[in-house]
Every structure is written in structure tokens, then in C-alpha cells.
Amino acid sequence: MGKRIIRLLLAFALLAAVVQPAAVHGEVLTAEEKYNKLVEQGIFEGFPDGEAHLDHNMTRAQAAKIIALILSLKENPSGANIYIDLDESHWALGYIGAATAADILEGYGNGIFDPSSDVTIEQLAKIMVEALDLEVDEDAKVEGASDWAGKYVKAALDAGLIPEQSDYTKPASRDLLVDVSYAANEQLQANAEETGWMTSAEQTGARKVQITFQGKADPDAASIVIERIGNENERTPVGIERLEWNADEGSVTAILNDKAETGSYIVSFTVRSDEKTVTSEYQFNMEAETLERIELGGSDQLPQANDVAVPFSLYNQFGEEMDERPEDIRVISIAPRAEIHPELNLVVLDLAELPKETFVAVVILADNVSADRIYKIGDIRVLDRVSTAGFYDASGNRVSTLKKGETAYLLLTPLDQYGNPFYDVDMDWLNENLQVTAVVHDFRPLTLPKQLEKHPKSGLPSVSVTGGSYLRDTVITVTITSKLGKILAQESITVEKDAEILPPPTPASIKPSMSVDPNSIVTVMDATYTITTYVTVTSQWVTDLHYMMLPESDPEPDVEDLLQISGTTATSGRVKTSGTKRLELAHVYPNDLNQKFKLYVVGSAGDGLIKTQKETVEIDTDSNNVFRFISISGNVETSTLVMYLDYTPQTAPVTVYYVVNDTPLPTVNSPDDVIQLLNDSNTYITRGLKLWGGISDRVLVSSNPGTYYAYVVLEYRGVLLMMEETLTL
């Protein structure tokens, strides 16, 4: 929480308390009565003699406690780590840290907070002025106030927060603090019925931040933003995967997309109600995940065998099991072979050569953390039972149901007589010692023999089942038994019914559709200043297009208005379409240049019995974006004639077709004529096709002096513009 919450929630309370202290809640209380109420709520502490002692001074530590309690801030000892004059055992450490983290109180600089010094009137003025976000005059000077405090004292006096004094550096009396604190507490309690504010934020996991709040916070009307604070106080948003609300307990846990990095963070907590929106902020620290604890699992006894797997777990500083492990993790043991599995959290031991009843110590070390455990070697390994982990698809995702043709794998873990898992077990050996069946519980149950196989991703033993075509939802049950017929494991999955074998539903009615390709929209101005906009409309189950272009400010026609259009004008019409149609819309020069229009289109068939929704297209005739071929120019560069083209839009990607000859070409009268010459068998000075990006592009013509005749066509969004020019070197 930061100054913003104080501004929003205390502004009315403080002003009401100081400017009009007599009638905030319909009753007039003396300062001593207010003090007694605050003592009852634990905000102020009473004295042994039962007196209020309102003439006493208030220390900075006491003020921190009062502010923290009024705002329901959670004690935060770590927030006071920046102060070197606070002992860890100081009674107010948590309150000072909370008020500091909330950006309400600050020290004197150089790590000094001075908790036992009195709160002065000018210090109180600064707290209240910043809390209320009052404007200050940076050049203000007040007699009796320190130079740094003049602007705050002046603002507080103007707002009626404090009475005039001859000396503002003296301690503030408890009665003034009581008046302000009482009004603030009353108003906060009233606000809590409408909206809540944040009281703390702390990291509770590698990807978890727990936020506590006071008052009401509807999850549907609240939002949370978490940002990381950089070296120069820049803020970088942190992705939030989901929020887990516990509104009854006044908390919400943000699950981040990624694990946190070490650094400072800030939470913005916004709650909206019918009458207002309250945003509170709280700065806190997060640390990257580190290994805190290692636990070795498995039974106390291990079989006398090779490839014995002993599981272990890694826990971070939050008590969470880690899904990544340190690179330097290693194992030490007297076993002939002791290795860390490359992917799974398993220690693999070879124990077949060690005598029965031998004790084997296993030690795991990583990141200066270690764990050890002593195991006893028992009998030769025997397959005793099987545990299941549920059904998964080939990619390793958990599945609960199947559709026709989909395959799921029931993952199995064979266990020995001591409960230890078999590691890298031979599948042939496993199939020899286990029997697997899959029963399809259709109208007539069907029992299918199955073979164990390795899961495609994890490599664990598994049984695959594939959904068939069934008239109803059907259950497939997989059963694993021993060679003696003892059921070792059993699990089922449901296959959803196949809709294709049911009576077909009523044929769907024809749904016409229509759309406009935004990349087809182009407004063109040719050499005669004729302005035309082209728009390509694609449709399905449509025979006619009804359209109308109007200035942006004109009233919008509805579908029925468009369907009434019959003839064709420069800006409206009804045209036939076979699926793709380019509309041509004429403009008036110069009135329609640099204007905005809207094109409304609807498709129909069957004389309007079938119709699409109305499509609206925005058209902008900005002269900088209108497609226009402005000029061809020649320039001599290093004794070579170079041809440049000027057109708009300047950086638009256009296709350039060009032919340059040393004599005129009288047969070239259209863009198509120029394009055809690119494949002509005759010889020209230069010709070609280029994809032109605009300003820096050019065409090298010739280094021989003479007169040249250039014929150029520009193509942009399917529109061709042609120009001829004579160039001289």
C-alpha cells in the first residue's frame, strides 16, 4: 500500500476531523473520549494511571504503530531493514517496517529512523499533506518552520489541518494526533463496507504472492497488477497465471507465470464499487528459488538387486517441491554403483553384490545442502504390487475421457516387496510376470488381452487403450494381475459416445457469410484527378451485394435500408456476385480528398429472403495515403542516368514494371501494353520488374548520352497506374 490509499481513504476523514471535528458521525466527542475509544480498539495504548495524558508527546515509533494499526497493515519487520538504528528486538520494528513499505513513513536519511524522537508538528504536516496529495508551493517559507518543511506547513495551514504556531519544530501534542487518528479510523471502517484496501503483500512461493486486504473485495470487481522495480525505478509487469481468492479470510494468492527473480516488486490492488474505485499499492521483496532441503525417500530396506531406485525430493525455501534441480547435484555411497537419474529424482544403486543385512549410507549434496539416510539390504527383489498414476496421452498430459480414435496410457509403477519402485525394468520380464486385460463395458462386455509398453514420452511402463465407436458413453477398465491371479491394480476411463452413429440431426439452415479483405482497400487518384476507392468483398451463399458509401458523420443505414437499393450510382448500388466482387466507389475532387467515409455492405440471396449481417468499412482519403503516381525523374549519378519514381503512399510496397527505349513506342497505350513488353523478343535499353519499397529505390538506365523514353506501370493492391516520361543524359 502506498500514498495513494492514504489519499483516497484518509482525505475526507482528515479534513472532516480537523476542519469540522464536531459533527462527523452525529455525536460530539472530546479528545479524551476519542482517545479512550482508540485505546479500546488497541490503536493507542493506555497509561498505568488510567489517564490520557493528551499533553504528552508522541514518538516516531508510536506514530508508526498508530498508522499501521489504523490501516490494518500487517507487521513487516523486514521493511525496516533499511534503518541501521533499529535493533531486531525493538518493540515497534514490525510497525515501522509496515509503514515504510507502504511509503507512509520514511527515515532521516543515511539509514536513520530515530524511533524514540518526538513527532514534530512540521513532520506531522508533511505526512498529512503528502497523504492528502495537497498541492505545495515549492518556494513557500513559514516563520517557525524548517526550510525543508515550509512548503508542507504552508499547505497544511491553508487546508486547515493544523493551527498556526510560533514554532513548528516542536513536538506535536497527542490531542492533535488523537483527533486525526480517530477521524481516519472511523472513515476507514465506513469505507470497509463498500470497498477494500491492501494491507500486505509477501512472497509465499517460487511463483506465489499472497496479498491481504481489509474490507470488502469482490473478485469480479477487483484487479491485481504486479510489477518488478528495476535499477532506475522502471516498472516491468509480471505475468499472472491465475488468482486464488479467499475473500472470507481477506486474502488472495497470485500465481505467477514464471518463478520470481530476486528484487523489489510492487503490487497494485484495485477494487471497484458503484460509487468509487480504490487503488492501493504495496512494495515488497521477492527472492529467486533456492534449494533449502533434500529428503531421501523409499523404504528402510532395499532389495539385494541392481538398478534399485531410491526416490528423493528437493524443497525450496518456501517448503515447495522443486521441479528443477541444481546442476551440481551428486550422490555419495559405498554401493558399487550410485548415480543420479538424468531426468527423474531417483538415486540408482547396484546392490546385488553386497551381502544381505549390510547397511548402506546414501548422501545427496547440492548447493551446500545435503541429506543422508541409511538403508538396510534385504532379500532378492520380488515384484509385489503395482501402483497407477492415471491415464495420460502420448504427450504426457492427464486425460479423464476419450473420444473415438483417441489413445490414452495408464501409467504404472511396479513395486518390490519393500515398496520401492522398479527402475528401468525390462518390459519383456514385466510382461512375463504380469497379466493385463482391458474390459470394454458396452452392451456386451468385451475382454481384450493387453501387453505392457513404455509410454512414448516418460518411458514408464503403461497400458494403452483406444476409444472405439459406441452408441453411449462406455467405460474401459484396465486390470493388472499377478501370475497367480491376484489383482495388483485396476483403473477405468470413459469413452464418449460417437455422435456419428446416432440419427443425424436436423440439417443446419444455410448461413450466408460476407467479409471484406482489409488489404484490398485502396483509394486511387489518376493523372486526371479522378479519385476512386476499390474494395474487394468475398461471400458465400450470396448472389447480390447491396452497398452505400456515406461521409463518416452521416446517419448509419440499417440492413433493410441497404436491401432497398436497386440501381447503381457513384457511391451506392446493387451488384451481382459469384463469391468475389470488387466494388468501385467514385469520389469528387477536391471535395472528397482528405475526408473520412464509411462503406456499408450487406449480401443477399432469394430476393432478400437470405441475408448477411451488415459489414462496415472505414475509408480514409488522406492525400498522403492515396495511391497516386506523381512523376518519373532522371538524375545523373557517376555518369549514369538513373530513373526515380515519386508516388504515394511513399513507403508502400509496389510492383514496378518498366521499359526504357531510345525511340518512342507508339503501340504502348495502357498498363497491359507495358507488362506485355517485358516478354517481348525485341531489344530495349532496359526493362524489368521490381518490388519497390519506395524512397531509396531506383532504376539504372544507361551511361551513354542521349534521349530515352520511359514507360512505367505501378501496381498496388491490384490497381495499375501508368506514366510515360522522356529522360536525357
- CATH code where residue 276 lies: 2.60.40.1220
Same domain, 176 and 103: yes
Identify the top-confidence range among 88-97, 121-130, 354-363, 559-568.
354-363
What residues does 30 pair with on adjacent strands? Answer: none
Q: Identify which of 222, 26, 14 has the alpha carbon closest to the alpha carbon of residue 128.
A: 14
Identify the top-confidence range among 15-19, 212-216, 274-278, 565-569.
565-569
DSSP 609: T
How much is the average pLDDT of 256-265? 94
321 backbone dihedrals φ, ψ, rounded to 5°:
-75, 130
Tell me what pLDDT residue 446 has.
86
CA 129 and chain centroid, separation: 36
Tell me what pLDDT residue 696 has.
59
For 504-507, the CB contacts below 8 A with 24+ separation are none
Tell me what pLDDT residue 567 has.
84
Whether residue 350 lies inside any domain: the answer is yes
**Confidence category of residue 184, pLDDT binned at 50, 70, 90:** low
How much is the average pLDDT of 556-567? 91
Exposed/middle/buried for 19, CB within 10 Å: 0-12, 13-18, 19+?
A: exposed
Q: What rounded mean pLDDT belongs to the chain?
A: 85
**Is residue 177's pLDDT more than 90?**
no
The answer to which of 269-278, 469-478, 520-529, 680-689 has the lowest mean pLDDT is: 269-278
How much is the average pLDDT of 536-554? 90
Q: Is the peptide bond before 590 cis (omega within 30 degrees of 0)?
A: yes
Same domain, 315 and 333: yes
Same domain, 615 and 634: no
Tell me what pLDDT residue 664 has.
95
Measured CA to CA, the distance from residue 538 to residue 540 in angstroms comes to 7
Measured CA to CA, the distance from residue 242 to residue 220 in angstroms comes to 13
Whether residue 128 lies inside any domain: the answer is yes
Q: Identify which of 35, 277, 10, 270 has the alpha carbon closest to the alpha carbon of residue 127.
A: 10
Q: To which residue does cell 536525357 refer?
A: 728
How much is the average pLDDT of 656-664? 93
Exposed/middle/buried for 282, CB within 10 Å: 0-12, 13-18, 19+?
A: buried
More confident site: 623 or 216: 623
Show which of 469, 501, 533 is a domain's final residue: 501
Tell me what pLDDT residue 21 has.
45
Please give the residue range of the domain that contains residue 603: 513-620
Show which of 501, 522, 555 is a domain's final residue: 501
CB neighbours of residue 697 within 10 Å: 14
Note the residue count of the chain. 729
Same domain, 30 and 97: yes
More confident site: 53 or 364: 364
Helix-strand-coil percent breakdown of the chain, rounded to 5? 15, 40, 45
Task: Give the pTM.
Answer: 0.50
Same domain, 51 and 156: yes
**Is residue 724's pLDDT more than 70?**
yes
Measured CA to CA, the distance from residue 718 to residue 306 in angstroms comes to 73
Q: Under DSSP, is residue 127 helix (H, G, I), strand (E, B) or coil? A: helix
Residue pair 203/286 in contact (Cβ under 8 Å)? The answer is yes
Measured CA to CA, the distance from residue 397 to residue 374 in angstroms comes to 36
- CATH code where residue 315 lies: 2.60.40.10
Same domain, 613 and 704: no
Residue pair 391/491 in contact (Cβ under 8 Å)? The answer is yes
